[in-house]
Amino acid sequence: GIQVEQSPPDLILQEGANSTLRCNFSDSVNNLQWFHQNPWGQLINLFYIPSGTKQNGRLSATTVATERYSLLYISSSQTTDSGVYFCAGPPRGGNKLTFGTGTQLKVEL
């Protein structure tokens, strides 16, 4: 199966700072998605982004499918952004969704 590598594994920010999270895939993926897991364990979809750029408020994501990576940008971070961010995608032609090991983000006052 495909391998998914996320960086950095851990990140501590001061409130108001910006950050970029990266996701690299070992092979082509369809339906690449970003998720946020809150401190209570609930996973929430942030973006479905197989290619191109999308923005939702302070968050935006860019996927360069030909180079097998995706970036998640968080601007003006808030304490509520804390949690774990995962990227995931199934291989082309498949439905087996493979996750990265996540980026643990902590935003401090």
Partner 1 sequence: DVKVTQSSRYLVKRTGEKVFLECVQDMDHENMFWYRQDPGLGLRLIYFSYDVKMKEKGDIPEGYSVSREKKERFSLILESASTNQTSMYLCASLRTGAGNTIYFGEGSWLTVV
Stretch that binds partner 1, among 12-20, 59-67, 71-79, 90-98 (CB under 8 A): 90-98
Size of the site for partner 1 (CB under 8 A): 22
The binder of partner 1 chosen from 70, 86, 105, 107 (CB under 8 A) = 86
Q: How many DSSP H helices and E strands does the chain contain?
A: 0, 11
The binder of partner 1 chosen from 42, 51, 55, 79 (CB under 8 A) = 42
In this structure, how many other beta carbons lie within 10 angstroms of the beta carbon of residue 10? 11
Q: Counting contacts by CB under 8 A, is residue 28 touching partner 1?
A: no
The span from the CA of 44 to the CA of 85, in Å, is 10
Q: Which is nearer to partner 1, 10 or 108 (CB)?
A: 10
The span from the CA of 12 to the CA of 95, in Å, is 33
Q: Which is nearer to partner 1, 75 or 104 (CB)?
A: 104
In this structure, how many other beta carbons lie within 10 angstroms of the beta carbon of residue 83? 22
